[in-house]
């Protein structure tokens, strides 16, 4: 059974939480395989990025992971500290943007639905506003957001996605 939770920051391997090493492993594998067609980030995650950006900013952002059989298979971050990853266009983010990734060999809709459900609950608890973008061609995420009760607004020229080689057509969802 998939468990959605906040990351465990105590289970360290070489100074990096195992949960984040799992994210790094599946994300970098997905990049190498070309599995993330609709994700703007194209550069691999490094342990240096986790140590110098993710960990120092964890108190400013909201993060959830999905775990199955003691392995993280998905994660979502709501970035209130927009420069807390080594994503090339990170500084173009606006505070409150959510990034979601799921291991390429897992059901994106099932895992993503669970993570975003918990993210939305946490945003309500903290009385914070956020938003989520998905490429207009990524039908799975659009259906998932519809299932969560959200309708997106189409943006036809979203520059950050265009710069990353995507169409630039995205749906924007205001949360919670």
For the chain, the domains span 3-127
Closest CA to 100 of 157, 62, 129: 62
pLDDT digits (tens, 9 = 90+) for 70-91: 999 999 999 999 889 988 888 7
Peptide bond into 176 cis (omega under 30): yes
Partners of 72 in the β-ladder: 67
**Strands 130-135 and 97-102, how do they pair?**
parallel
Taking a C-beta distance cutoff of 8 angstroms, is the pair 115, 107 a contact?
Answer: no
Average pLDDT over residues 4-29: 96
What residues are paired with 43 via a beta bridge? none
**pLDDT exceeds cutoff 90 at 64:** yes
Whether residue 73 contacts residue 67, with contact meaning beta carbons closer than 8 Å, is answered with yes
Whole-model pTM?
A: 0.94
Q: How far apart are CA 132 and CA 134, in angstroms?
A: 7
Rounded to 5°, angle at Cα 36 from 32 and 41 = 85
- CATH number for the domain whose boundaries are 3-127: 3.40.630.30
* Lookup: tokens for 140: 């799975």
What percent of the chain lies above the pLDDT cut of 90?
Answer: 86
Confidence check: pLDDT of 148 > 90: yes
Residue with tokens 């993280």: 72
């Amino acid at each position: 059974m998939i468990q959605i939770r906040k990351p465990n920051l105590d289970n360290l391997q070489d100074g990096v939480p195992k949960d984040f090493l799992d994210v790094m492993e599946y994300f970098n594998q997905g990049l190498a395989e070309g599995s993330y067609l609709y994700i703007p980030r194209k550069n691999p995650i490094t342990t240096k990025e986790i140590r110098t950006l993710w960990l120092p900013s964890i108190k400013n952002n909201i993060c959830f992971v999905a775990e199955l059989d003691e392995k993280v298979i998905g994660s979502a971050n709501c970035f209130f500290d927009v420069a807390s990853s080594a994503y090339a266009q990170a500084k173009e983010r606006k505070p409150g943007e959510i990034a979601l990734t799921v291991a390429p060999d897992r059901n994106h809709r099932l895992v993503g639905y669970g993570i975003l459900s918990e993210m939305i609950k946490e945003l309500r608890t903290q009385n914070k506003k956020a938003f989520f973008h998905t490429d207009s061609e990524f039908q799975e995420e659009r259906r998932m957001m519809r299932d969560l009760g959200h309708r997106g607004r189409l943006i036809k020229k979203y520059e950050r996605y265009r710069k990353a080689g995507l169409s630039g057509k995205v749906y924007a969802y205001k949360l919670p």
